[in-house]
């Protein structure tokens, strides 16, 4: 019974396991332990006060009014830290939006296209791009440039970007397709403003905001920058003020910007968590160090796959587009018995999240995600298990 749970995506290791739960889930995911401790300390101060009988009691972040001076400071600091970590130039606004990544699928065309006739080009390299187009079709006229393999419906490459319709209001792309494992390590440089869904790779690499002509970049917090419930949307100021008249206020960038992110009740706790994550990134060495870690962690597993003589495989063959955040891989060509045995073995050693349930159905691929909460040491442990499992179950001298 217990073993079964590991096969259907449970995140609880066996009772007999002692040690850290190594969570490779694609999201929501574990924050670094240092961040979680800091969140506990700073966002639940009221609890602390009661416990330790502190003489200068204060309210927890979760108790603060979004219009209070105290929360105002948290909000301001959070924006300042996001700017510092992501090296965001002054001509951009940093907005905290609601509705997750999906909210932005609608908000982008509603803010950048004045009417449904306005054209926008969507570069589609995976499942999230497909979803974004489906939303965009309601609010603009998307032109799709897709790398979908017509034979089997998979996405394993990126498309050619030479013929972008110059009348496009924007060019949209997902910089890291979380499910498919395709990542733009560097954004393309196009003459039309770029809109980037960076939900799963935000804060894992620097962005060349001006060089890549970034118009909008958004990331839901649940993958690599915090806790679900808030989304960071970075908008270049010259793109404000041109929303479709039907754009709901809650999705409207100009309203959000002019109200200082306080048009309605902002996700106060989640904003504080983002701030604490950003602080942690700076303390650990900043965005370039985060990129180094993402490369080192993912490379460790890609190396095991490469050397496994086909026992493991990953669908993306071009190393220039292999994701450093989410690595899909199969075990023995997707053999059900061996895949299940592999899942149980990793689970017994404290590794969870390799098989998750997605809205896109069950695939033969497992997936290892390398967000900030995943230590390099956890990845080494996964690599060792992969090697010993392959040795046991194949003839490959790994």
Ligand X SMILES: *Cc1c(COP(=O)(O)O)cnc(C)c1O
Catalytic (active-site) positions: 128, 197, 223
- Please report whether residue 101 would count as binding ligand X according to CB under 6 A: yes
Number of residues that bind ligand X (CB under 6 A): 13
222 touches ligand X by CB under 6 A: yes
In this structure, what token pair is assigned to residue 189? Answer: 């440089």
Would you say 45 or 219 has its CB closer to ligand X? Answer: 219
Q: How far is the CB of 391 from ligand X (least distance, A)?
A: 34
Which of 185, 205, 223, 227 is the binder for ligand X (CB under 6 A)? 223
Region from 96-104, 209-217, 246-254, 376-384 binding ligand X, contact rule CB under 6 A: 96-104
Count CA atoms within 13 Å of residue 187 on its CB side: 30
Minimum distance of ligand X from residue 235's CB (angstroms): 17
Stretch that binds ligand X, among 94-102, 157-165, 180-188, 374-382 (CB under 6 A): 94-102
Residues whose CB is less than 8 angstroms from the CB of residue 194 and which lie 6 or more positions away in sequence, other chains included: 170, 171, 172, 173, 187, 188, 212, 213, 214, 215
Q: Which is nearer to ligand X, 178 or 252 (CB)?
A: 178
* Min dist. Cβ of residue 217 to ligand X (A): 12
Residue 28 C-beta: closest distance to ligand X, Å:
9
Output 105 or 347, the one with its CB closest to ligand X.
105
| Nearest by Cα to 254 from 231, 233, 275 | 233
**Closer residue to ligand X, CB minimum distance, 223 or 236:** 223
| Segment interacting with ligand X (CB under 6 A) among 154-162, 216-224, 254-262, 331-339 | 216-224
Choice from 106, 108, 124, 220 touching ligand X (CB under 6 A): 220
- Should residue 25 be labelled a site residue for ligand X when binding is judged by CB under 6 A? no
CB of 198 closer than 8 Å to CB of 219:
yes
Give the list of residues 6+ apart from residue 338 with CB closer than 8 angstroms, or none. 331, 332, 393
Nearer to ligand X by C-beta: 78 or 178?
A: 178
- Other beta carbons within 10 angstroms of residue 361's beta carbon come to 7
What pairs with residue 331 in β-bridges? 312
Q: Is 100 in the site for ligand X (CB under 6 A)?
A: yes
Site for ligand X in 104-163 (CB under 6 A): 128
User: Any contact of residue 200 with ligand X (CB under 6 A)?
Assistant: yes
Q: Is 197 in the site for ligand X (CB under 6 A)?
A: yes
Contact status, residue 216 vs residue 236, Cβ threshold 8 Å: yes
If binding is defined by CB under 6 A, does position 226 make contact with ligand X? no
Distance from C-alpha of 65 to C-alpha of 45, rounded to nearest angstrom:
15
CB of 218 to ligand X, least distance (A): 9
Q: Cβ(220)–Cβ(368) under 8 Å?
A: no
Beta bridge partners of 174: 197
> Alpha-carbon dihedral of residues 382, 383, 385, 389, nearest 10 degrees?
130
Q: How far is the CB of 349 from ligand X (least distance, A)?
A: 27
Compute CA distances 80 → 67, 278, 295, whole Å: 18, 10, 27
Q: Round to the nearest angstrom and report the end-to-end CA distance of the chain.
A: 33
Q: Which is nearer to ligand X, 38 or 197 (CB)?
A: 197
Q: How far is the CB of 37 from ligand X (least distance, A)?
A: 25
CA separation (Å) from 103 to 38, 82, 131, 220? Answer: 29, 20, 11, 9
Strands 119-124 and 312-313 come out as unpaired
Q: Which residues bind ligand X (CB under 6 A)?
A: 27, 100-102, 128, 174, 178, 197, 199-200, 220, 222-223
């Amino acid at each position: 019974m217990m073993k079964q749970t590991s096969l259907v995506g449970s995140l609880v290791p066996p009772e007999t396991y002692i040690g850290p739960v190594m969570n490779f889930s694609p999201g929501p995911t574990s924050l670094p332990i240092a961040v979680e401790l800091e969140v506990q300390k700073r966002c639940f101060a009221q609890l602390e006060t009661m416990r330790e009988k502190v003489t200068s009691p204060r309210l927890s972040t979760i108790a603060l009014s979004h219009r209070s001076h105290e929360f105002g400071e948290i909000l301001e600091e959070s924006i300042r830290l996001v700017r510092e970590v992501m090296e965001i130039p002054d001509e951009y606004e940093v907005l905290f939006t609601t509705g997750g990544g999906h909210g932005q699928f609608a908000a982008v065309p509603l803010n950048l296209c004045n009417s449904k006739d306005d054209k926008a080009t969507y570069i589609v390299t995976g499942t999230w791009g497909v979803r974004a187009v489906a939303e965009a079709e309601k609010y603009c006229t998307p032109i799709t440039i897709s790398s979908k393999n017509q034979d089997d419906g998979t996405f394993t490459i990126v498309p050619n970007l030479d013929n972008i319709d110059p009348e496009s209001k924007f060019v949209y792309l997902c910089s890291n397709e979380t499910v498919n494992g395709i990542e733009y390590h560097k954004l393309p440089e196009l003459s039309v403003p770029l809109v980037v869904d960076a939900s799963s790779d935000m804060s894992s690499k620097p962005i060349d905001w001006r060089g890549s002509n970034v118009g909008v970049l958004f990331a839901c917090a649940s993958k690599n920058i915090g806790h679900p419930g808030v989304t960071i949307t970075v908008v270049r100021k010259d793109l404000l003020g041109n929303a479709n008249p039907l754009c709901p206020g809650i999705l409207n960038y100009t309203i959000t910007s002019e109200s200082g992110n306080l048009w309605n009740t902002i996700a106060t706790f989640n904003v504080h968590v983002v701030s604490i994550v950003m602080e942690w990134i700076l303390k650990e060495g900043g965005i370039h160090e985060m990129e180094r870690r993402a490369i080192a962690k993912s490379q460790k597993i890609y190396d095991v796959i490469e050397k496994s003589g086909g026992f493991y495989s990953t669908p993306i063959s071009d190393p220039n587009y292999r994701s450093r955040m989410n690595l899909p891989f199969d075990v023995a060509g997707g053999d059900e018995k061996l895949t299940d045995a592999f899942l149980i073995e990793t689970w017994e050693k404290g590794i969870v999240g390799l098989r998750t349930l997605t809205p896109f159905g069950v695939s033969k691929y497992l997936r290892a995600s390398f967000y900030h909460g995943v230590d390099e040491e956890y990845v080494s442990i996964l690599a060792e298990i992969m090697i010993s499992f392959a040795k046991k179950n194949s003839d490959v001298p790994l």
